[in-house]
Amino acid sequence: MKNIQRYMILAIMFMSVGSCNYLDVVPDNLATIDNAFTMRSTAEKYLFTCYRYLPEHGNAAYDPAIAGCDEYWFLFPYITTTNWNSAISIAQGFQRSTNPYLDYWSNTYSQSDPFKGIRDCNIFLENIEDIIDISVDEKKRWIAEVKFLKAYYHFWLFRMYGPIPLIKENLPISAGVETVKAYREPVDDCVNYITELLDEAAPDLPEKIDFETTELGRITKPICLSVKALVLVTAASPLFNGNPDYAGIVDNRNTHLFPASFDNGKWERAALACREAIDLCEGLGYKLYDYSSQQLQGSMLSDSTKTLIAIRNSFSEKWNGEIIWANTQSLATAAQQNATPPGVIASKYPATTGNLNTLGKYSPPLKIAEMFYSSNGLPISEDKTYNYSDRYKLRIVTDEYKYYLQPGYTTVGLHFDREPRFYACLAFDGGLWYGQGSFDDKDQYLMQCRAGQLQVAATTNRTGVTGYWPKKLVNYLSAVATTGSGYTLRNYPWPVMRLSDLYLLYAEALNEAYGPSGSGEANGSPYLWIDKVRERAGLPTVEDAWQNFAFHPAAYQQQSNLREIIQQERLNELAFEGHRFWDLRRWKTAHIELNKPISGWDYQQSAPEYYYRPRILYNQTFMIRDYLWPIDEGELLINRNLVQNYGY
């Protein structure tokens, strides 16, 4: 029997010298810890407790990848919610070392406390063998799930801070003060430990969930192998693989925390992990979402509309066959509300837009709209058939664009001749919005977004500021009332990993490890995996697009150019899903992309010739120091063994 009094004495001792919550050896539930593992039923509750620390993916208040980048911009002053403003402050370049924004190291604002999660995972692993009324196979599965969670919590911290303390086991009750003062471990040690945990977990995880009504969201082997692939691609990327900016980060043991030189073997290892995950997923029936074989709503749809629905549903249709991992603790409700303009239904039903349960505050900047390809599958500045110089001039929509734009409506040239992902992902003035209770693609909702029109918010705090909204986040079956005063969202768990994500990770690893020719093995060409994603998006292959329509038709055959192609493919395919934030950092391109102005249309104007004038909303700044989070200065005072990240 553990002695509660001893825990209390030790807690008082630690408070007297200061302690970091990730090293707190005093469990929250002292009164029940001895009983938690005497029966299967109570141990299962502790298992689910280990899950509750998962990050709130997709929640702009807690996930920095939503509001902390440049995929969305907001009306300032934005909102009184502290954590929303914290993420936006990161996007504005205001990160700080005293009380850092969205600080998961010294977590005080969210239940998603990774260090606390690691501690509870350790408690579970230390006590699981005490359960007697559980089968061997179920015990193995539970252990594997918790090892995965422990690995993922370490990875979440690693991706934010780089080198972190590795909490392999909880400290004993007799631990001295100096033992509590942990060190950050080198990058390679962190990565090796995380992947070691994942390797230990994978064999005992189920390949699929058998009892979907009660177990969807629990960890499976495909999730485990896919996260391992992501971990190794991250570790092989420029931020962590021979980054000269971090060469001087050395602790008081004289240990260099970042690798001094680039190692191409890390890309080879990442490619193998990607391929292993893909083989398993495809063998189990995972495939890119295709709407053409689905039960159709209402009238027969055009091929164009089916493609747009497939792109949207690959993310927003719950548990579709492309989703490898969705976080059941993070429903997309708030994201949908903030993605949907308050007057989205008003073009069909007269509405008082202020009473709709939608906000429309997520505003993709103009540079995100320009990021998507031309209809030929090329960057719009690279497509020799695209009228790039006139993209800001007005055009009247003709009937050939009837499934994307409203015929007869005046909009801007940028909205014409774009790839299907542009129309599937973005809502804008003159664009059409399929679904929302109307399933005839010949009678879609028209977005009218200029001042005085129907999609303009009734109140200033319910509006976007760029003229764009992320339509992709809104499930097309979300329904509106014919009276114009009701709006019901179709909720779904936030997808953390999709098969298209895994395909593009593999293409990237192949190109970095072996170049455009690939590994030389069957299906080892990076083009193959990019083209799978492009085909679903309604685009020609990389080869066809570049050879037939590009100013530089041979560019795709060079490794550096193919790297840029793969990166843009990821940014387009995974737009608004929370990947851009992390990708720009691991590629070390954030100091380029996040130092470009944030622009949008002049949404307060009514005439198209005035509305369609780009205006700068903010001059975003990003410094080299911003690639990683700072460790709070208070933690450094408590523990002198810690060393601060570069630039703080």
454/583: higher pLDDT:
583
What is the distance between the alpha carbons of residues 279 and 222, in angstroms, rounded to a whole number?
Answer: 10
CA 275 to centroid of chain Cα atoms: 21
- Residue of 562, 506, 574, 518 whose CA lies nearest to 229: 506
Phi and psi of 249, rounded to 5°? -85, 100
Residues pairing with 431 in the sheet: 405
Looking at residue 403, what DSSP letter applies? T
Q: Is 109 left (phi over 0), alpha (psi -120 to 50) or beta?
A: alpha
Are 235 and 187 contacting, i.e. CB atoms less than 8 angstroms apart?
A: yes
H-helix or E-strand spanning residue 65: helix 64-67
Q: What pLDDT, on the 0 to 100 scale, is given for residue 30? A: 42
Alpha helices in 162-302 (DSSP H): 177-180, 187-201, 212-215, 221-236, 265-283
Report pLDDT digits (tens) over 58-84: 999 899 999 999 999 987 655 555 567
d(CA 565, CA 544): 14
* 637: helix, strand or coil: helix
Mean pLDDT for the chain overall:
89
- DSSP character for 427? E
Alpha carbon distance 225, 234 (integer Å): 14
Rounded Cα–Cα distance for residues 214 and 30 (Å): 29
Instruction: Take residue 405 and report the two structure tokens written for it.
Output: 């734009």
Residues 497/325, Cβ–Cβ less than 8 Å: yes
Cα separation, 475 vs 631, in Å, equals: 38
Mean pLDDT of 142-163: 98
94-124 pLDDT tens trace: 999 999 999 999 986 666 899 999 999 999 9
Q: Beta partners for 445?
A: 433
**DSSP H or E run through 599:** strand 597-600
Phi, psi of 50 (to 5 degrees): -65, -30
Structure tokens at 126: 């230390």
List pLDDT tens digits, range 275-287: 999 999 999 999 9
Chain centroid to Cα 638, Å, comes to: 33
Residue written as tokens 């949907």?
340
pLDDT band of residue 454 (cuts 50, 70, 90) is confident
172-181, 199-208, 315-324, 544-553: least confidently modelled range: 172-181
Residue 223 in contact with residue 187, Cβ under 8 Å? no
Q: Which of 569, 581, 622 is nearest to 159 (CA)?
A: 581
Q: Is the pLDDT of residue 573 over 50?
A: yes
Cis peptide bond N-terminal to 206, omega within 30:
no
Dihedral angle over CA of 198, 202, 205, 210, nearest 10: 110
Q: Is the dihedral of CA 421, 372, 555, 237 positive or negative?
A: negative
CB-based burial label for 157 (10 Å; 0-12, 13-18, 19+):
buried
pLDDT recorded at residue 2: 34
404-419 as b/e: b if 16+ CB within 10 A: bbbeebbbbbbbbbbb
The pTM of this model reads: 0.93
Which helix (H) or strand (E) covers residue 619, if one does? Answer: strand 615-619
How far apart (Å, rounded) are the C-alpha atoms in residues 342 and 287? 35
Is the Cβ–Cβ distance between 222 and 277 less than 8 Å? yes
Token pair 């579970």 is found at 124
Of 363-377, 477-491, 634-648, the poorest mean pLDDT is in 477-491
